[in-house]
Structure formats: structure tokens, C-alpha cells
Structure 1
Amino acid sequence: MNQASSESVSQNSAVFLLAMLALGTVAPTVFWGLPAIVGQIAQQWGFGAAQLGIAVLGEVFGMAAGTLLMASVLARQPVRITLTATILLSALANFVTPFAHTLTLFIVVRAVAGIGSGAMSGIAMTCLSYTKSAERNIGWLVLLQVLWSMALLGYVLPVVGGMAHATGTYVCIGVLSLAFLPAVALFGKQEAFVDADASESAHVDLRGVILLLGSLFALYFGVGVLWTFLEQIGMRSGLSEARVATTLVMANLVSLAACVVMPRLGRGNGLRRWAVVNIGACVVSAAALTMPQTPDRFALAAIVFIVAWTGAATLIFATMPRVDTVGRYATLSPGVLSLGFGIGSAAGGELIEMLDARAAVGLACVFCCASLLLYMSLKRANNTAEEALSRMSQS
């Protein structure tokens, strides 16, 4: 990423970090609140399960398209312009959504909203990936996202939905988008993610970028299967709804601790080691969930998976600056994440209906294995990359 201009706030200042943390947390609000929002949509518009699945995939593909635009067409454009445009695009699409009464129009509008939120998420992720103590800052981002998801599902969306249904939810999301317009002033007028004369061949390990994004996609494919249907997996194993809910609450609380601890463990040479440990723990816990379940076995496997997934995601994000010191491809991470999650959720639901929950968990385990293999295929950062990172962290 470019050096901050004299007109912009220092990109390691508290104001800048807080703004990017907030943007990265709030921009994908629909993604974090999806279980509740889907219910509101079904109640207000009467869409069936298959229609809702298509609509969700439309938004997820929009998010992926938004991050792709930021990594390609918009990477050399001033961040002020792109951030302003994507904020307004996201807000407008959310304000228009209550008037989209047909399925086709609804999908189109939500895809447009996804483009806006995906681009905003990409901007925040890129900025946080290229600050001092990137591992720590990304750890804080993941922690805040977990907290925001818990607040959305536990309080915000039920209250807003009870007052104004899905219409109120989308209007609130639009207003939240507009609240980030002042953040535009944190960037210089001509500041872009990639210099016009930047030499990608000297700074970007394209093979490493592809492997890293593939690892992230495979991990979140598995997460999409397990997180979306974990309650059903537990209940189909004979556990009570109350026991499953208690397990999920405990897992979320422990995962918050992982968000704080993993960035500390992942500093320097520990990054690769602890990323492998966490992805490996996802594989082991997913495999354990394919076995006949007892309450204790399910609780242990579910908690380990959720904590390991949170830690793995934090460290995979933090690895991106080591393969892309220019700062061009970190913006793809949120889109790849949401794409993997969306496709994993759809595939998991189909397998549960066609076969059983064990088959769906088995598929998740396979993709977690693929994530581990892809990450382990990454070459260790060479001295040139390390030196470049050191220079960037001091900018």
C-alpha cells in the first residue's frame, strides 16, 4: 500500500486503526446476521428455502465481485473515490431493497449491495494487513466481528425485526454504511493501494497468493457446512437443543480469547507454525464430529473447531502481507471468505437433505484438509519479502 500522504492521517494512528476496524466489522453486517435476516426475508416476502438460497448466493457473489474489483480495476484509483463510491452504492442498494418485491429484482439489488460491502471490507482488510503489528490488528478485527455477530443475532436484529421486519433491517444497514463517509478524509486525495509504477513481479508471490486464498476458501467452505448446520448436526445426534445452544455460547466465548492470544503466538516465525496447528485442529475436530456423538464429545469437538477456525482465520489473514508486499491482493480475502462460506452452506444443506449430517461433516473435513495442504505448500517468506515488510511497517 502507498505511503500515506501529508494530507491523510497516519496509517498507524489510533484514529485510522479504529476507523478501519469499525469498517471491517460493520461492512459485512448482512453476512454476520444472515441466519436472522433470512428469517425476516422469508416472513416479509414469502420466499421459499430454495429462493432464499439463490438470493444469499447472489449477495455472496456480489461481495466476491466487489473485492475482485478492488484488487484489479480499482487498485490504482484513489482510495477516497472508491471508498466514497462503494459506501454510497451499499447504502443505496440497502435503501432500495424494501421495494424489490420480485425474486429477480431482489437478487439483483442484493448482488449490488454485496459489491459495495465486499469492496468496503476489502479496503479495511488491506489497510489493517499493512499496518504495524498486523497480526494483532487483524486479531482485533476477527474479535470485533465475532462480538458484532453475537450482538446482531442476540439483540439488534430481533429488536429491529420486531419493530419493522426486514425493511427496518435493511434501512439500518444503509444508515450504518453512510456513517463511514467521514473515514474518506483519512486518505490522501491521490492515495491508492498500488502505485502506478509499482512492479508486481518484484513484490508479489502470485503462487503464494493463490495458495493462500485457496486455503482461506477451503477453510471457510468447511466452516460454511459446520457453522451453519452445527445445531442440526448436534440435534440429529440425539442432543437436546438447550445442550447444543450452551455449547455454541461456550465456543464463542472461548474463541474471543483465541482472537487475543493467536496474534501474540503468531508473531515472526510463529505465524506459519500456529496457522498449521489451528487448521490441523479444524481437521481433527471436524473428523471427530463424523463419529457417533455423546454430549461431551460433541461439546469438545464443536468448541475446538470454532476456536481453531477463529485462530486459523486470523493467522491466514496475517500471512497475506508476506506473499503480497504491494498490498494489492489482501482486498480479495473477504470475498473469498464469503464465497467459500456461501457455497459450503449450500452444499452442506443439500447433503443433509439427500444423505445425512455425517456426510455433510465429512465434506467439511475434506475441505479443511485441503486448506491445511494448501497452506503448508506456501514457501517460507524470503529475506527480500521480510525486508520489504519491515520497511512498510515503518511507513
Structure 2
Amino acid sequence: MTKPRFSWQFLAFVFAVAVGNAVAHLCTSAMPLQVGSLIDGFGLTATAAGVFGFFQVGTLALGMIFFAPLSHRYRPFVVCLTGLLIAAASNAALYFSPASLPLLCLLGLISGFGYCLMLSATVGAPAASAQADKVYAASSSGGLLLLVALLSLLPLANSYFGVRGIFLGIAILLVVSIPLLWGFRYTPATAAPAAAAAARVDAVSGRSLKSGTSLLIIWVLYSLGTGAMWTFAERIGHALHIPGPTIGFILSISVFMALVGSGLAALLSDRLDRATAIGIGLVGGGATCLMLALSTGLWMYALACVLYWIVTIFFYVLMLGTAAAIDPTGRLATLGTGCERLAFAFGAPIGGMFVDMGSFLWIGLLALTSCSILAPLCLPALSRAVKRAHADRHIDAVPVPLV
């Protein structure tokens, strides 16, 4: 891994990753707005709108999983720009589309693939940096702020373009962000020449992916438990008779407080053993989910929501940094993020079944078991994988992207 040659280039790269992170997460973060537009603008039922969401988010997650083995062969700038153009075109097409569910789902699938490419570039590009943890922390924080700004602008699209305006608004925001991705051209690369045999690259990266199995299991278990819990965070607030606007305010503040988690991850990444730091995140994730499930009033509920986001972003940044430490090509980070998104999506129906069978407490216990009991069992294997990857780094060089 190499350090950036010029600081302004490094900052441009971090900013580009933050922008890519923000626009890629419109796929999931803007989904409530898209669902509303599908119901009001296309006359779909809630179930049909949910099917559209399944196609879009499902393609994002599965696409990252299947694209991971190839991601190291393409320049992040090209990947991100291609994905952005695909997502922009499909969202514009959605705005003009007739109210045909199969066609809408097809366009949702295409847009999901575009988002998949954007997010793959975003999580894969920093992997070769000598300061991967800090790049992930800074870009996650910046991306979060940019995402909140983008989401605040999107409702204006309905005022200018009608009830379907959300889709056209997303397309416009994506196109406008193209110049801000230029910093991807300064993606850190290692000293190995591009001509270094591709077969050796695949062998090195293949070993890294196998070594990263423990990381993937930990990531999936954490996202499954927290996804099941967070899906019902709003319903827990209503069960506590907290007013709707107050719940919305608490959830918004909680997302902003995630910046604390990014800062802690950057601060502790050089001071704690990776397995120890991730273990703290696992225990914290399970504990905050249980606290949320056991909330008895406004202040306990608000504290649980804030702590949830702090711990979740802390854990997410550490996992990306650890994936980069095991595999600097970015393949493991891409694969891990895809698995994480897929597990989070499956957490929602699983949480729903637990609520129907029992109560919110059951989801809290599920999250505690998944995050804080089962996942830590893989930490010794993860620690060995990181040490083995560090030793291999002195033998094998990782080449720059080939395309």
C-alpha cells in the first residue's frame, strides 16, 4: 500500500468517496420517498410498491456479491461513473414510465445495478490506501452529511415535477454530482506495475477472500440482528406513546450522532487490536438493540437510538478497514458490504415474525444473541486472518486496477 503523494489529491479522493457513498445510499435511504411516489403517482398498492423496493435493493446487494470477484480489475472512477449514469437513466425512465408493475420492477432492477456499481467503487477504492480506516471514517461522515442534504432536497422535486417527481429529482441529483467524482482518479495504488501477472493477483486476492470468511460471518450476523431491530424502531416509539414528530426528530438526531462513531473508529483503529475493537462493536450493538427493545419512556428510547447509530457506524467503519487490511484489492470490502446489505434486508421479515410471535423484546434478544454471542465466536479466526494477511503483504504486491 502507498501513501498519497499530494495531500490535496488525497483530500479530493476522500471527498469523491464521500460523494459516491452519499449518492449510492439513495437506493435505500430514499426508498420511503420512492414508495410514496409509486403509490400516489402510479396508483400502486403498498404491497406492489414494496415489490419494487425488493427488486431495487435486492439487486444492489446481490450485485455487489457477484461483482466482488471482478471489482479489482476496473478503475473505481469508471465503475462509479458507469453506475451513476445507469441509475440516473433508469430513474428518469421511471418518471416517464406507464403504471406497469413488471416494467417498474425492471427499471428498479436496472437502477439497483447502477447503485451496486457506485457502492462497489465507494467501498473498494480506499482499500489500497495506507490509511484505509481513516479514509472510511472520513468518507462515511462526509457521505452521511451529504446524504442528509440530498434527502432534504428531494421532496422539492414533487413541488416542481408532480407526484412522480422523486424519480426525476434523483436522476438530476445524480447527474449534478458527476463532476464531484473526479477525485476517484487519485485512488491510491500500490507500487506494483500494472503488468504484474493477473494470475498472481487473482491467487493473492483469492487467498484473501478465503481468509475473510470469518469477517463475512461476523458482518452478516451483526446486520441480521441490528436490521431486525432497527426496522421496528419507529413502532417501538409509537408503542411508548411518543408523538410522531418527536420520533422523527429522535431518529434524525441519531443519524447525525453517527459521526461520533466514525470519529471513534478512526481514533481507535491505531490504538486497539482490530479483533478487540470489533468485539466492542459487537457487544455494543447487541446491548443497544436490547436497550431499545426494553425502552420504557422517551429518554431511554432516545438514548438507545443515539447509541445504536454510534455503535453501528463505529462497527461499519472498522469492518471496512479490516476488510482492506485482509484484501487491499477491495474485493472483500465489496463482497462484505453486499452480504451486509442482504442480511439487513432479511432482518426485517425475521423481526416481523418475532414481533408476531411475541414482542419487541424477542427481537432484542435475537439481536443480542446474533451480535454479542454468536458473532464474537469468529473473532479469533478473524484475528489470525489479519495477521496472516499482514505477513503476506511482505511477499505479494497488489497491482493497480487494470481497466
For Structure 1 versus Structure 2, the TM-score category normalised by the shorter chain is 0.7 to 0.9
Range moving further from structure 2, 272-281 or 218-227: 218-227
Instruction: Give the Cα separation in 1 of the matches to 2:358 and 2:154.
Output: 33
Name the structure 2 match of 1:241: 244
SS of the equivalent of 1:47 reads: coil
Name the structure 2 match of 1:378: 382
Relative to structure 1, is the Cα distance of residues 253 and 375 closer, same or farther in structure 2, using a 3 angstrom cutoff? same
* Matched residue count: 388
Please state how far the C-alpha of 1:313 moved relative to its aligned partner.
0.9
SS of the equivalent of 1:378 reads: helix
Which of 16, 22, 26 does residue 19 from structure 2 map onto?
22
Name the structure 1 match of 2:135: 137
Deviation per residue, 1:198-244 (Å, 9 max, x gap): 34444533343222223223322333233332121122134443553
Alignment check: 8 A CA contact 1:55 1:106 kept: yes
State whether structure 2 residue 341 is matched by structure 1 residue 338. Answer: yes
Task: Report the residue type matching 1:24 in the other structure.
Answer: N
Please state how far the C-alpha of 1:316 moved relative to its aligned partner.
0.9
Q: Structure 2: where are the runs of 5+ without partners?
A: 188-192
Instruction: Give the Cα separation in 2 of the matches to 1:2 and 1:63.
Output: 30
Which of 307, 321, 333 does residue 318 from structure 1 map onto?
321
Instruction: Give the Cα separation in 2 of the matches to 1:244 and 1:216.
Output: 28
Name the structure 2 match of 1:102: 100
Name the structure 1 match of 2:311: 308
Please state how far the C-alpha of 1:135 moved relative to its aligned partner.
0.9
Deviation per residue, 1:141-185 (Å, 9 max, x gap): 2213332343344x2232223433563222232233334555478
SS of the equivalent of 2:83 reads: helix
Task: Report the residue type matching 2:161 in the other structure.
Answer: A
TM-score normalised to the size of structure 2?
0.82
Instruction: Give the Cα separation in 1 of the matches to 2:63 and 2:8.
Output: 23
Name the structure 2 match of 1:282: 285
Range moving further from structure 2, 48-57 or 71-80: 71-80
Relative to structure 1, is the Cα distance of residues 15 and 113 closer, same or farther in structure 2, using a 3 angstrom cutoff? same
Name the structure 1 match of 2:41: 44
Instruction: Give the Cα separation in 2 of the matches to 1:287 and 1:362.
Output: 6
Which of 27, 47, 54 does residue 51 from structure 2 map onto?
54
Name the structure 1 match of 2:265: 262
Q: Structure 1: where are the runs of 5+ without partners?
A: none
TM-score normalised to the size of structure 1?
0.84
Deviation per residue, 1:308-364 (Å, 9 max, x gap): 111111111111022213332222233223222222223334544565433344433
Instruction: Give the Cα separation in 2 of the matches to 1:44 and 1:219.
Output: 36
Instruction: Give the Cα separation in 1 of the matches to 2:396 and 2:204.
Output: 15
Name the structure 2 match of 1:158: 155
Instruction: Give the Cα separation in 2 of the matches to 1:287 and 1:80.
Output: 41
Task: Report the residue type matching 1:138 in the other structure.
Answer: Y
SS of the equivalent of 2:270 reads: coil
Task: Report the residue type matching 1:56 in the other structure.
Answer: G
Name the structure 2 match of 1:329: 332
Name the structure 2 match of 1:170: 167
Range moving further from structure 2, 81-90 or 209-218: 81-90
**RMSD of aligned residue pairs (Cα, Å):** 3.6
Alignment check: 8 A CA contact 2:289 2:368 kept: yes
Please state how far the C-alpha of 1:123 moved relative to its aligned partner.
0.9
Relative to structure 1, is the Cα distance of residues 218 and 57 closer, same or farther in structure 2, using a 3 angstrom cutoff? farther
Instruction: Give the Cα separation in 2 of the matches to 1:266 and 1:74.
Output: 25
Identity of aligned residues (%): 20
SS of the equivalent of 2:87 reads: helix
